[in-house]
Structure 1
Amino acid sequence: MVREFKLPDVGEGLTEAEIVSWLVEEGDRVSEDQPVAEVETDKAVVEVPAPVNGTVREILAEEGEMVPVGTVIITFDVDGEKEEIEADAETEAEQEAETSAEPADADADADTETGGRTFAAPSTRRLARELEVDIEAVEGSGPGGRITEGDVRAAAEAADADAESEPETAGSTATDATESAVRAVDEDEAGEDVQPAEAADRDRTLAAPATRKLADEEGIDIDSVPTDRTRDGEPFVTPAEIDAYAEAQKRAQAADAEAVSAGSEAGADRGTAGAAGEDERIPYRGIRRTIGQQMERSKSTVPHATHHDEVDVTALVEARGRLKDRAEERGSDLSYMPFVIKAVVAGLREYPILNSQLDEENEEIVLRGEYNVGVATATDAGLMVPVVESADRKGLLEIADEMNELIGKARDRSISPDEMRGGTFSITNFGAIGGEYANPIINYPETAILGLGAIKEKPRVVDGEIVPRHVMTMSLAVDHRVVDGADAAQFVNTVKEHLRSPELLLLE
């Protein structure tokens, strides 16, 4: 039996995902739960497992393609069960409704499959569907009999050639329509102005579903495509006519662009201008788009108020220096962040209003009973916030180990969505790249985020003398609907107290 596998919702509320890479090829044997693909959701990159034991029959989505949830992305031949082939009844019904009098056996070949396996890339199969070519009947010229796009196009051209020998209702052929579409382009060779192929102007055009899809992909109004074909007295357009019309339009537009470019260059010759670099376009989707949407929602929903301060962390620097080697002997990398997390928990215990969320629908402020601290992490895909859960019940080394593991998974994009959910408060360390103060954006629906500046040696007055001290700056942003400025300042004072005297963290 052929088992279709649809893209599942691998994240809460997911509507689409990008196919990052296929881990199998058509014809490969797979076992149940074996990863077959990597997909990027709006949270992370996750592996998609095979649902059965069997053989990969067909891969239906390309790497880099955005696929809606519920779309069939791969099919399998299941072990130990008889293969069953089902006709695409929906497509057939749609095609019959559009073409009305189309011969009943027109798609007969498309509804059956040969007993052998057909090897072709997803892009080749898509092209075959667009050109209405039965890929099972195409002889492959690639390695191992693999069907190439050239094989599909050759089959489509052969089918068009066969159609030329058959009488058409209006006494013309597809080739005639194609020639009429590109005639304007040929005029360029005679030195005349290049014009797009003359568009038709119809209210109704018959075409197969694949042909309409091709027109949509090319950005072509199917009612404007020239054709002399008819079906039941109505104009009927083929894929070849779509291709010819689109090509004519593109070549005409290219000629226009060349003319404009030539005019611009001539103008540049008359003046002084430097060579401009080319723009680069980066897809705004996946994790990057989610980050942007989250930031936009937070900034547009939450009235931010930011409190800036600094703290003398000389004693913390010394304590961490004494403990770092001992931590390494136990296999832990002890940075300053675990100390800060424990100090933040102390502040949240004393001022729980900062460990809260605003339930706008029920008009309630929810004081969270857990202390789940998110640590903002810079990655190639953008800023992610892994969450250290129950930080109040963990020691420094336990926090360090868990945090480092989560940060590593975020940076190699193997972190799961669950590991970035449930945060009650966030910390961002912009000082890692040298900054001192910032206005961090709250990780909505939390109500506060603490930004850490770089630790720098600065002159300070101690016991009446100017001495060098290690100083760290802090920027606390709060949701001013929930947190007052006084609470924000007192919370920061508590955090400062624990960082100035790190032995207090032993009590946490």
Structure 2
Amino acid sequence: MATELKLPELGDNVASAVVVGVLVKEGDTLEAGQPFLELETDKAVMEVPAPAGGKVEKLMVKPGDEVKSGQVVGMLGDGTSAAASVPAKSEASPPPSPEEPKPQTPAPQPTPAPAPVKPPALSAGTHKLIPAAPSVRRLARELGVDLLQVVGSGPAYRISESDVRRYADGGAAPVAPAGLPAAAPTLPEFSKFGPTRREAMSGVRRATVRSMAQAWSLIPMVTHFDKADVTEIEALRKKYGPRAEKRGGKLTMTAILLKVVAAALRQFPKFNASIDTASNEIVFKDYVHIGVAVDTPNGLLVPVIRDVDKKGVITLAVELGEIAAKARDRKLTPEEMQGASFTISNLGGIGGTGFTPIVNWPEVAIMGVSRSEMQPVWNAEKGAFEPRLIMPFSLTYDHRLIDGADAARFCRFVAEMLEDPFLLGFEG
């Protein structure tokens, strides 16, 4: 019995996506949950997992195709039902006209605007990630433009409609975005120095390459370093940890930081904003959604915890554990990775004494947390050194909006909340 491979929901306000990679071929055996397609929307690159296991009997899409939620993109079976994947009415269907070749797959295609030029198709096996929104790809097909030949003028070479029209009219290539080289330099021939091997980037890594390049080219970043005495709050974390476990969560320092940072964002709304350079305005957000960087076998993912300021620490601990597990199992939806107004990256569980995280545009700040360690701290009242647990952390910020003094005050607020948990009752 053949099983249809259907695309899941692509997310709110996402009408379609473009296939940027087909990870299997007909005849391959898929396991349930194994990625078989890479799709790109105007918001993210995602890998689509198989809903069930079986043998790939038919593939109905190729790189460059535009697809929609619920569309059948392939047939899956046990290898004995290939004939079943062909519609029973195919023999009774009228033959195609001579000027219209018989279609090879039943996958629905978007209806293009009338155009005398047939748009070029991507070559088989092409896996190059083209930074262009679906609307831009649609325009390229209508004008017969091969996007592989277009240099985008946007951040990280993102292609706009004007770039496509310029290319169609025979215009010159645009100037590379500020902060990026005019063209990527050609790599040397590494094999002459010794053996090499190549591995295709995953969809997660491709998305990371694009977003980090965009952020680095757009944002003048500065990092401020600070530290907090977390001796008292660490004792409370251990004391109330069992209460969180009864609720199905784990009371981690990250869960506590979520609540502390939410209070800081309310106190310093500039850090919970974005810059609109087109209108010369600052967009202040009345919500507090915080992204949390999660290290997974497939790369760094940043799921978003929503309305952090309205939730208790134990509730946040439970939610954080659930969404981190979904990230590691590659079950996050696009919606669960959108809408953050600030990000926390905690590497304390791995080690290190400090680092400079990169701001996730269009956010304007990100906090990096390193491993706490016991240090001798002078107690003036007792006239002696005392062992205290000190947590180093850093804040990278967009210097176009945030000044150094702002960053220092923000970090001092966070440190004071951690050093005296009682203050959260007033500020949180």
TM range (shorter): 0.5 to 0.7
Q: Which of 435, 442, 451 is the aligned partner of 2:359?
A: 442
Question: CA 1:319–1:486 in structure 2 vs 1: closer, same or farther (change >3 Å)?
Answer: same
Q: Which residue of 1 aligns with 2:59?
A: 60
Q: Which residue of 1 aligns with 2:153?
A: none
- CA deviations 1:380-401 (Å, max 9, x no partner) are 2211100000001111111111
Quote the Cα distance in structure 2 between the aligned partners of 1:347 and 1:88. 68
Q: What is the CA-CA distance between 1:285 and the residue it aligns to?
A: 4.7
Quote the Cα distance in structure 2 between the aligned partners of 1:322 and 1:382. 33
1:90-101 superposed matches below 5 A: 93=99
Asked whether the equivalents of residues 289 and 305 of structure 2 are also in contact (C-alpha less than 8 Å), the reply is: yes
Asked whether the equivalents of residues 44 and 416 of structure 1 are also in contact (C-alpha less than 8 Å), the reply is: no
Aligned pair 1:485/2:404, yes or no?
yes
- CA deviations 1:102-156 (Å, max 9, x no partner) are xxxxxxxxx699xxxxxxxx9xxxxxxxxxxxxxxxxxxxxxxxxxxxxxxxxxx
Q: Which residue of 2 aligns with 1:152?
A: none
Asked whether the equivalents of residues 428 and 452 of structure 1 are also in contact (C-alpha less than 8 Å), the reply is: yes
Q: Which residue of 2 aligns with 1:326?
A: 243
Q: Which residue of 1 aligns with 2:73?
A: 73
Question: Counterpart of 1:459 in 2: which secondary structure?
Answer: strand
Q: Which residue of 1 aligns with 2:387?
A: 468
Asked whether the equivalents of residues 395 and 407 of structure 2 are also in contact (C-alpha less than 8 Å), the reply is: yes
Q: Which residue of 2 aligns with 1:294?
A: 211
- CA deviations 1:336-358 (Å, max 9, x no partner) are 11111111011111110000011
Asked whether the equivalents of residues 222 and 398 of structure 2 are also in contact (C-alpha less than 8 Å), the reply is: yes
Aligned pair 1:411/2:358, yes or no?
no
Question: CA 1:358–1:409 in structure 2 vs 1: closer, same or farther (change >3 Å)?
Answer: same
Question: Counterpart of 2:256 in 1: which secondary structure?
Answer: helix
Q: What is the CA-CA distance between 1:94 and the residue it aligns to?
A: 7.9
Q: Which of 244, 247, 255 is the aligned partner of 1:338?
A: 255
Asked whether the equivalents of residues 387 and 419 of structure 1 are also in contact (C-alpha less than 8 Å), the reply is: yes
- CA deviations 1:365-415 (Å, max 9, x no partner) are 101110001001111221110000000111111111111111111111111
Question: Counterpart of 1:441 in 2: which secondary structure?
Answer: coil
Quote the Cα distance in structure 1 between the aligned partners of 2:215 and 2:272. 17
Question: Counterpart of 2:349 in 1: which secondary structure?
Answer: helix
Question: Counterpart of 1:93 in 2: which secondary structure?
Answer: coil
Quote the Cα distance in structure 2 between the aligned partners of 1:494 and 1:112. 64
Q: Which residue of 2 aligns with 1:494?
A: 413
Question: Counterpart of 1:454 in 2: which secondary structure?
Answer: coil
Amino acid at match of 1:448: A
Amino acid at match of 2:370: G
Asked whether the equivalents of residues 38 and 47 of structure 2 are also in contact (C-alpha less than 8 Å), the reply is: yes
Asked whether the equivalents of residues 25 and 59 of structure 1 are also in contact (C-alpha less than 8 Å), the reply is: no
Q: What is the CA-CA distance between 1:421 and the residue it aligns to?
A: 0.3
Q: Which residue of 1 aligns with 2:130?
A: none
Quote the Cα distance in structure 2 between the aligned partners of 1:359 and 1:403. 30
1:208-247 superposed matches below 5 A: none
- CA deviations 1:178-220 (Å, max 9, x no partner) are xxxxxxxxxxxxxxxxxxxxxxxxxxxxxxxxxxx9xx779xx
Amino acid at match of 1:297: Q
Identity of aligned residues (%): 34
Q: Which residue of 2 aligns with 1:397?
A: 314
Question: CA 1:346–1:8 in structure 2 vs 1: closer, same or farther (change >3 Å)?
Answer: closer
Question: CA 1:329–1:353 in structure 2 vs 1: closer, same or farther (change >3 Å)?
Answer: same
Q: TM-score, normalised by structure 2?
A: 0.65
Asked whether the equivalents of residues 375 and 385 of structure 1 are also in contact (C-alpha less than 8 Å), the reply is: yes
How many residue pairs match? The answer is 321
1:183-332 superposed matches below 5 A: 278-332=195-249
Asked whether the equivalents of residues 272 and 364 of structure 2 are also in contact (C-alpha less than 8 Å), the reply is: yes
Amino acid at match of 1:492: C
Larger Rg: 1
Question: CA 1:75–1:373 in structure 2 vs 1: closer, same or farther (change >3 Å)?
Answer: same
Q: TM-score, normalised by structure 1?
A: 0.55
Question: CA 1:302–1:94 in structure 2 vs 1: closer, same or farther (change >3 Å)?
Answer: same
Question: CA 1:406–1:483 in structure 2 vs 1: closer, same or farther (change >3 Å)?
Answer: same
Question: CA 1:49–1:456 in structure 2 vs 1: closer, same or farther (change >3 Å)?
Answer: closer
Q: What is the CA-CA distance between 1:439 and the residue it aligns to?
A: 1.1
Asked whether the equivalents of residues 7 and 48 of structure 2 are also in contact (C-alpha less than 8 Å), the reply is: no
Q: Which residue of 1 aligns with 2:18?
A: 15
- CA deviations 1:445-498 (Å, max 9, x no partner) are 000000001111111112231121100111101111111111111111111111
Question: Counterpart of 1:339 in 2: which secondary structure?
Answer: helix
Question: CA 1:331–1:83 in structure 2 vs 1: closer, same or farther (change >3 Å)?
Answer: same
Aligned pair 1:354/2:357, yes or no?
no
- Note the residue ranges of structure 2 that are not aligned, 5 or more in a row: 77-82, 106-120, 126-191
Amino acid at match of 1:489: A
Asked whether the equivalents of residues 454 and 472 of structure 1 are also in contact (C-alpha less than 8 Å), the reply is: yes
Quote the Cα distance in structure 1 between the aligned partners of 2:19 and 2:416. 47
Amino acid at match of 2:377: R
Quote the Cα distance in structure 2 between the aligned partners of 1:36 and 1:285. 13
Quote the Cα distance in structure 2 between the aligned partners of 1:112 and 1:490. 64
Question: CA 1:74–1:436 in structure 2 vs 1: closer, same or farther (change >3 Å)?
Answer: same
Question: CA 1:35–1:429 in structure 2 vs 1: closer, same or farther (change >3 Å)?
Answer: closer
Q: What is the CA-CA distance between 1:43 and the residue it aligns to?
A: 4.3
Q: Which residue of 1 aligns with 2:171?
A: none
Asked whether the equivalents of residues 19 and 37 of structure 2 are also in contact (C-alpha less than 8 Å), the reply is: no
Q: Point out the structure with the larger helix share.
A: 1
Quote the Cα distance in structure 2 between the aligned partners of 1:292 and 1:279. 22
Question: Counterpart of 1:471 in 2: which secondary structure?
Answer: strand
1:121-160 superposed matches below 5 A: none
Question: Counterpart of 1:14 in 2: which secondary structure?
Answer: strand
Question: CA 1:433–1:25 in structure 2 vs 1: closer, same or farther (change >3 Å)?
Answer: closer
Q: Which residue of 2 aligns with 1:142?
A: none
Quote the Cα distance in structure 2 between the aligned partners of 1:445 and 1:422. 10
Q: Which residue of 2 aligns with 1:431?
A: 348
Asked whether the equivalents of residues 46 and 414 of structure 1 are also in contact (C-alpha less than 8 Å), the reply is: no
Quote the Cα distance in structure 1 between the aligned partners of 2:49 and 2:56. 19
Asked whether the equivalents of residues 249 and 319 of structure 2 are also in contact (C-alpha less than 8 Å), the reply is: no
Q: What is the CA-CA distance between 1:25 and the residue it aligns to?
A: 9.3
Quote the Cα distance in structure 1 between the aligned partners of 2:241 and 2:214. 40
- Note the residue ranges of structure 1 that are not aligned, 5 or more in a row: 27-33, 51-55, 96-110, 114-121, 123-212, 219-274
Quote the Cα distance in structure 1 between the aligned partners of 2:103 and 2:287. 59
Q: How big is the alpha-carbon RMSD for the aligned residues of Structure 1 and Structure 2? A: 4.1
Aligned pair 1:39/2:37, yes or no?
yes
Structure 1 range deviating more: 318-327 or 443-452: 318-327
